[in-house]
Amino acid sequence: MFDQLRFDYLSCAGHPTLQTPNIDRLARKGVRFTNAYTQSPVCGAARMSAYTGRYVSSHGAQWNGVPLKVGEPTLGDHMRAHGTGCWLIGKTHMRADKAGMARLGLTPDSVIGARQAECGFDIWCRDDGLWAEGPGGPYDNARSPYNEYLKSRGYGGDNPWADFANAAADDDIIASGWFMKNADRPANIREEDSETPWLTTQTIDFIAQAEGPWCAHLSYIKPHWPYIVPAPYHDMYGPADVVPATRDPCELSDPHPLYQAFTDTIIGRSFRRDDVRDKVIPAYMGLIRQCDDQMGRLFDWLEESGRMEDTMIILTSDHGDYLGDHWLGEKDLFHAPSVKVPLIICDPRESADPTRGTTCDALVESIDVTATIIDAAGATIPDHIVEGRSLVPYLGGQTPDDARDFVISEYDYSKHPVGTTLEAPPRDARLFMVADHDWKLVHCAAGYRPMLFDLRNDPDELRDLGADPACATARAQMYEKLHAWGLRMSQRLTVSEDEIRAQRAGGNDTGVLLGLVDGSEVAPDLVARYRGKVPRRP
């Protein structure tokens, strides 16, 4: 899993100048899903969905920093129950539910407590990749293995992540990668010491020592900002490689108040500047190119070690990046650059031979990846817990019986500055996207009108038809899907569908037989059980 990698910034996905030969090589061996949606266009919520296989409203960790509640079943739980370890190498954005853990007497120094604190993973290496510090202290209070690595490699200071890996040098002065004016400069670090190669090395080390079946979540921070990359990647691409922004002045005319608020942030204002895009996007492309090279290094090692033949590889991202499209930066809303994710699945088994090198335009979600992993491992998907649906049938060229006819994504802006701007009550600051091949509707729990896009006739999503009287039928159809989803069964986690069916078949033979008048309604031998001589009465 990459972080903030757009679905369309791969050469196999049609980017005109960015070359990603190694990811393309994976795509040639597997299936590339062209309509894969994240459960939420923000790191924390998206990841908690990926790690639980459940919708954001179902697990409740709705934004960055919202702890995943204790006891929420995870991919790690399901895999370990099947005898497969589940390991983390890199980022999760997990925050432990300290209050919930304390209530249950769980501490992170026990195996059980550690897994609760780490969203179900065992830790090979956790590094969330944002080691910023401000007047209020560090963004992340955890230990940074990457900073320790840099120090062991001779980089000085307290925070070489900030001072070297994510900064250029302005002569002798730090030129931070947080300032996008520096995006075209090389990070002041040897390329082999930067984050992406370091995590790749960690991964090779993990696989080299692994015994028995394993599942590893290799989770890169890049190409997430700060947008700065070491040489030679910093100038592989330039302004000429920047594709024009997908945007139109009509989007800013009588805009939806929520959309307007997002365009009015510092981020939105910066990204509408072409000079900013011309600096940032080449750096972003350089970061992706570095990621691709590291994929190549990993794939080569897997081939040389024989592991490519018995390793299933799923390549995806947690969400995308607007990069100025729709007058926006970052993610947060539901236009394709933000809500769609790359998804390539390569299963080395013969069963997947029919589809190698193909694309699949079915509507799929990030939580489907979770279900796919469980299914591919040969375990039964606990579908009363995991809301994702296995993609394994697609790999064999089949359309699954439970193929989706719509996809859902959610966004909670209660902690986002836009929530403050709009004075939104926290519980109402929530958005729901429902999309199919034809329409995309965004519902606002705070009471704003919906947004609506006609994906067939306006594939670039430039015209919001949320208030167009001509589209009332489309809105009603999409709302019907959303409302059925809203009433889905998502919390009956303790009894499976099969267990319920079995209990039905068993009937009630434990003596509670309601509605009997005289026993003639049931078998005589059952009635006899309720009679007998009265025992001793005082």
Which of 208/516 has CB closer to a second copy?
A: 516
- Give me the least distance between CB of 110 and a second copy, in Å please: 7
495 contributes a contact to a second copy by CB under 8 A: yes
**What tokens appear for 522 in the block?**
């049931």
CA separation for the pair 306, 297 (Å, rounded): 14
Which residue, among 452, 428, 493, 442, has the nearest Cα to 62 in the 3D structure?
Answer: 428
492 contributes a contact to a second copy by CB under 8 A: yes
267 contributes a contact to a second copy by CB under 8 A: yes
Site for a second copy in 107-146 (CB under 8 A): 110, 112, 116, 130, 132-139
Look-up of token digits 């072409």: 274
- Name the helix (H) or strand (E) containing 24: helix 21-29
The 373-402 contact track toward a second copy, x by CB under 8 A, reads -----------x------------------
- Give me the least distance between CB of 437 and a second copy, in Å please: 23
476 contributes a contact to a second copy by CB under 8 A: no
Which of 273/349 has CB closer to a second copy?
A: 273
Which positions ≥6 away from 500 have C-beta within 8 Å? Answer: none
HSE-CB at 532 with a 13 A cutoff on CA atoms is 8
Site for a second copy in 149-188 (CB under 8 A): 153-157, 160, 162-164, 167, 169, 172-176, 178-181, 188
- In the DSSP assignment, the letter for residue 165 is I
198 contributes a contact to a second copy by CB under 8 A: no
**DSSP track, 259-309:** HHHHHTSHHHHHHT-HHHHHHHHHHHHHHHHHHHHHHHHHHHHHHHHTGGG
450 contributes a contact to a second copy by CB under 8 A: no
**What tokens appear for 354 in the block?**
């029919």
Q: What length is written for the chain?
A: 538
225 contributes a contact to a second copy by CB under 8 A: yes
- Give me the least distance between CB of 479 and a second copy, in Å please: 8
Count of residues engaged in binding a second copy, rule: CB under 8 A:
127
71 C-beta neighbours (distance < 10 Å), count: 13
The 9-48 contact track toward a second copy, x by CB under 8 A, reads ----------------------------------------
Which of 105/306 has CB closer to a second copy?
A: 105
Candidate residues 5, 86, 89, 106; the one interacting with a second copy per rule CB under 8 A = 106
- Give me the least distance between CB of 397 and a second copy, in Å please: 27
- Give me the least distance between CB of 78 and a second copy, in Å please: 11
Candidate residues 146, 271, 406, 411; the one interacting with a second copy per rule CB under 8 A = 271
- Give me the least distance between CB of 101 and a second copy, in Å please: 9
> Of the listed pieces 209-217, 263-271, 336-344, 399-407, which binds a second copy according to CB under 8 A?
263-271
How many angstroms separate the Cα of 380 from the Cα of each of 87, 312, 350, 376, 492? 20, 18, 21, 9, 17
CA separation for the pair 260, 192 (Å, rounded): 42
Q: Which residues of 225-252 are buried (b: 16+ CB within 10 A; e: fewer)?
A: bbbbbbeebbebbeeebbeebbbeeebe
> Of the listed pieces 372-380, 388-396, 465-473, 490-498, which binds a second copy according to CB under 8 A?
490-498
- Give me the least distance between CB of 63 and a second copy, in Å please: 9
CA separation for the pair 15, 29 (Å, rounded): 19
Angle at 518 between CA 515 and CA 522, to 5 degrees: 70
467 contributes a contact to a second copy by CB under 8 A: no
At what angle are helices 195-209 and 274-305 packed, to 10 degrees?
A: 20
Candidate residues 19, 201, 311, 490; the one interacting with a second copy per rule CB under 8 A = 490
Candidate residues 16, 105, 212, 249; the one interacting with a second copy per rule CB under 8 A = 105
519 contributes a contact to a second copy by CB under 8 A: yes
How many angstroms separate the Cα of 501 from the Cα of each of 412, 497, 504, 508? 37, 6, 5, 13
Site for a second copy in 290-329 (CB under 8 A): 329
- Give me the least distance between CB of 49 and a second copy, in Å please: 12
Candidate residues 68, 333, 339, 345; the one interacting with a second copy per rule CB under 8 A = 68
Which residue, among 461, 460, 433, has the nearest Cα to 445 in the 3D structure?
Answer: 433
Residue 169, φ and ψ in degrees, nearest 5: -115, 130
82 contributes a contact to a second copy by CB under 8 A: no
